[in-house]
Amino acid sequence: MEAVTPAPTVSQKEIDRRHARIREALAEQGIDALVVAGTEYTGFEGGIRWISGFRMVHRYAYGLIPVQGDPITVFPAEARWVGQHGESWIDEQVFADTPGAWMRQLAEQRGWGRLAVYGLNFAMPVRDYVALTGGELEIIDFDVEFDLLRAVKSEEELGLVRHSFDLNERGFWKVLEAYEPGKTEAAILAPAEELFVRSGTTRTTQNMVLSGHDGNAGPEFKHPDPIRPVEPTDLLLYSVEIAGPTGYWAEFARPISQAGLSPRTQEIMDAYQECFERARTSLRAGNTAHDVHMQVFGAFDGLDVKAGHVTGHSIDMIMVAHPRIGEGVETVLEENMIISIHPHVVTTDEENCLYMQETFRVTPGGGEQLSSVPIVAFDGSERTPS
């Protein structure tokens, strides 16, 4: 059985850096404290782990970082025995019947006037929002700010990112080794998921696929089919996405079809190769997210296609973070941001699509592609490079 590579741990220096970044950002805006909301909903649990080291198993949690004073983690009382709370770097842990009410009372006791919250738009349960906003406390949406203060990775974080991405790439080769017409979509993906779980990935794995017949794929993401045998002319586009044992998300996808792509899909594939070449040149520190989008999606100009969703986004312990790579997003990219590029290119009749993912590090000279896998379609005969 393939050996498991132990995941790197996080140093106290890195923990202190993260908390200091938060406090600096709060102090600049005259804010008293930050509440970070996390939920077990896949992709939104990472904010809690980034500030506390706690890995959510079920339910939700909060991290409270004051400008002055020690941080606190706050859990709903019903989650007392869900997760290993001793993993947390934060010593003070509270289990409250209604966490939102407990945090509001703490703010009132300490005389806080302004409280920033990460997770207002997606993660915070309604009961806690209602309780938190029930007094005179000014609540400030901090979703974009918290994403941006995490976006530039330290050297230590880059090592954690690469560990996750290396595991994700190994999963792709497991899929390719398992690929064989006659198997089901689920059976082909299963060896990758086995590798992920055995290596310490918990439930933070996306097992989605785009698939279709005659060298085409339909535009809707779906769960891999466990019943229907794959045919030689089927096109499979597994979205191999995990947050490995380090907690950092990595995204990766390449098309697989024994019989090859249809002429229509091959035309999009040719443009996709140009798209990733443009990503390598445009993901340069100093460019804006808008600049990158215009360059990358411009590779598809002249084709009878449209965008299914965003061209890409920042990615870390939270799967989809700001800045989004899209039209009108004027955030300036900085060195050591990690960006996932994945145009979902859908034909205008909405019958077919092509979708590939690659993760890049922003550098002064352009995007560093984190995988070594070529931007090509695979027929299943390929094997992991020695």
Give 260-291 pLDDT, tens digit per residue. 999 999 999 999 999 999 999 999 999 999 99
pLDDT band (50, 70, 90) for residue 44:
confident
Identify the sign of the CA torsion 285, 43, 147, 71: negative
Residue 240 has pLDDT above 90, yes or no: no
Query: Looking at 129, 151, 173, which one is the last position of a domain?
Result: 151
Domain boundary among 127, 151, 175: 151
Residue 149 clears pLDDT 90, i.e. is over it: yes
**Shared-domain flag, residues 18 and 93:** yes
Same domain, 107 and 237: no
Q: Does the residue 169 lie in any domain? A: yes
Same-domain status, 31 and 143: yes
Taking residues 179-186, what's their average pLDDT? 97
Asked if 184 and 69 sit in the same domain, the reply is no
Q: Which of 385, 384, 382, 357 is nearest to 256 (CA)?
A: 382
Grade residue 207 by pLDDT with cuts at 50, 70 and 90. Answer: confident
Q: How far is CA 119 from the centre of its chain?
A: 15
Residue 3 has pLDDT above 80, yes or no: no
Clarify whether residues 238 and 327 are in a common domain: yes
Domain that holds residue 116: 12-151
Strands (E), the chain: 33-39, 60-66, 72-76, 92-96, 114-118, 138-141, 205-212, 235-243, 249-252, 305-307, 312-314, 321-325, 338-341, 344-347, 353-355, 358-363, 366-369
Tell me, yes or no, whether 54 lies in a domain: yes
Q: Average pLDDT, stretch 100-120?
A: 96
In terms of DSSP bridges, do strands 353-355 and 344-347 run parallel, antiparallel, or are they unpaired?
A: antiparallel
Mean pLDDT of 294-304: 95
Considering the domain boundaries, does residue 386 fall inside one? no
Q: What pLDDT is attached to residue 144?
A: 96
Please identify, among 98, 118, 151, the residue that sits at the C-terminal boundary of a domain.
Answer: 151
In a domain, 255, yes or no: yes
Type and span of the H or E element at 176: helix 155-178
116 assigned to some structural domain: yes
Instruction: Specify whether 235 is located in the same domain as 141.
Output: no
136 class by beta-carbon count within 10 Å (0-12 exposed, 13-18 middle, 19+ buried): exposed
Residues 106 and 20 occupy one common structural domain: yes
DSSP state of 137: P
Tally of domains in the chain: 2
For position 161, which CATH number holds? 3.90.230.10
How far is the C-alpha of 249 from the C-alpha of 316, rounded, in Å? 5
If asked whether residues 140 and 181 sit together in one domain, one would say no
Average pLDDT of the segment spanning 377-381? 95
Question: Do 355 and 269 fall into the same domain?
Answer: yes
* Same domain for 181 and 145: no
Confidence of residue 217 (pLDDT cuts 50, 70, 90): very high
User: Is the model more confident about 44 or about 166?
Assistant: 166
Show the tokens assigned to 115. 């409280």
Report the distance separating Cα 348 and Cα 219, nearest Å: 11
Please determine, for residue 68, whether its predicted confidence score (pLDDT) is greater than 70: yes
Token pair belonging to 380? 């299943």
The answer on pLDDT for 312 being more than 90 is yes
Residues 315 and 251: beta-carbon distance below 8 Å = yes
pLDDT of residue 117: 97
377 domain-assigned: no
- Domain annotation covers residue 359: yes
Mean pLDDT across 159-166? 95
pLDDT band for position 362 (cuts 50, 70, 90): very high
Given a cut of 80, whether residue 5 has pLDDT beyond it is no
Q: What is the pTM of this model?
A: 0.92
- Residue 173, domain member (yes or no): yes
Q: What is the CATH number for 31?
A: 3.40.350.10
Residues 318, 226 share a domain: yes
Whether 310 and 365 share a structural domain: yes
